[in-house]
Structure 1
């Protein structure tokens, strides 16, 4: 089962893979971190079976999609270096903090920039990187804080990381599960699609 996921998606593929693996114990998974463009290209070329990507400008004649609920944002920080109390943070408060960000070409960064700019704010990040793990290392080391998907689970990677909600913060474009419409189409991809559809109905 070949799955491509955009960086900083709050979709957790693990639970879906666990359920599929329980039903098909011989099933093996290949998980790739790809850009939206790479996901659509590799779906079209049958190099991956499913994609988790932004649904902006999706060709609905070529691809079938299941939209996720909006991705809310929070501030990831290390409690050894920062403390914010219990109240959600405002974008105005974030501008005063040392921020680490993904580079400007990435969808998630564009949503962050939009939230700042629409309020007349201009962030000056102390760190910009195209690698999520480097951003996490910088947060864990106390160099910066970082705006991340609120329900990404990144705050449980170490005991010192925490996630603080941000007021009125969500991505510009919805994420979704994407599968090609035309043949060849993986039976496993169809089963996965149906599994997610069923889970959204029952939750």
Structure 2
């Protein structure tokens, strides 16, 4: 089996049609058909169900597609890192993050790592589930997210639980008295991020539902800045991690909730069972110090 077989198979699986897959690969259909058949013979498994209007993956084909994509991504990441190391003679360390954790101490950790002139830091904005997949294929070395995801190849560490605060339009009536979840539930919610769960929106809405409160979602958006802009436009409120208060937006007020247990986790994800190299040991040391500062109140 060669890498080209994986490329051919992925194209056929994504297009669901050999003619379109061949066009995508800039090759004729008969050679592609032969390559797919050779791959199936080598695996001893039927990867596709041939139908008059195209191809349908078998259960084995669905599993092989997932693994083939991971292999392809791992090869791509390895090639890119090898080129960087050869060009710069630096060790590459890649970090995945969700935007809301970047308002806290993560920039401090990156600044300290960048003091090492032999280290090149790469940053990838990824949702927590995307971080897990990126860890498995070697695209990133550590991820910082909000969601607990079970995966046998990845271990997750709860760093701390961060309080959630309400972002409301500047001068809103909600800021005139101690704020509760019940009071918030009477107003429209701007939810972020949108898309398949689990995500930040699922967690925040569950905080209302667990208290028997109904919530009216007025808008669903993909990122924090858009959510805050809609809040400033009086489209509703949104819940944000406490670190976001550092933005100091003049058109948005950030209000503390008096309810208990209104928080969201900050989670570090790493590959399971992998012995830490010197860079990871340095990252762990810095991270331990920063988390200790946060928990002891030396940093908000």
Indicate the TM-score class for this superposition, using the shorter chain for normalisation: 0.7 to 0.9
Provide closer, same or farther for how the CA distance between residues 161 and 25 of structure 1 changes in structure 2, counting only shifts above 3 A.
farther
Quote the residue 1:178 is aligned against.
269
Range moving further from structure 2, 90-99 or 76-85: 76-85
Quote the residue 2:203 is aligned against.
111
Range moving further from structure 2, 107-116 or 2-11: 2-11
Quote the residue 1:91 is aligned against.
181
Quote the residue 1:13 is aligned against.
106
Quote the residue 1:51 is aligned against.
143
Superposed CA offset, 1:136-189 (max 9, x none): 221233322211112234542x23332111222123xx3322222455966433
In the superposition, the TM-score normalised over structure 2's length comes to 0.57
Answering whether residue 298 of structure 2 is matched by residue 195 of structure 1, we say: no
8 Å contact 2:161–2:263 — kept in the other structure?
Answer: yes
Alignment match of 2:190 (pick from 71, 79, 100): 100
Alignment RMSD? 2.8
Segments of 5+ residues of structure 2 without an aligned counterpart are: 1-92
What is the DSSP-based 3-state SS (H/G/I as helix, E as strand, rest coil) of the residue aligned with 1:68? strand
8 Å contact 1:76–1:148 — kept in the other structure?
Answer: yes
8 Å contact 1:74–1:148 — kept in the other structure?
Answer: yes
Quote the residue 2:253 is aligned against.
162
What is the DSSP-based 3-state SS (H/G/I as helix, E as strand, rest coil) of the residue aligned with 1:164? strand
How many residue pairs match? The answer is 197
Task: Please give the alpha-carbon distance, in whole angstroms, between the structure 1 residues aligned to 2:119 and 2:253.
Answer: 34
The 5 Å alignment of 1:74-89 reads: 74-79=165-170, 84-85=175-176, 87=178, 89=179
Quote the residue 1:134 is aligned against.
226
Range moving further from structure 2, 111-120 or 73-82: 73-82
In the superposition, the TM-score normalised over structure 1's length comes to 0.80
What is the DSSP-based 3-state SS (H/G/I as helix, E as strand, rest coil) of the residue aligned with 1:74? strand
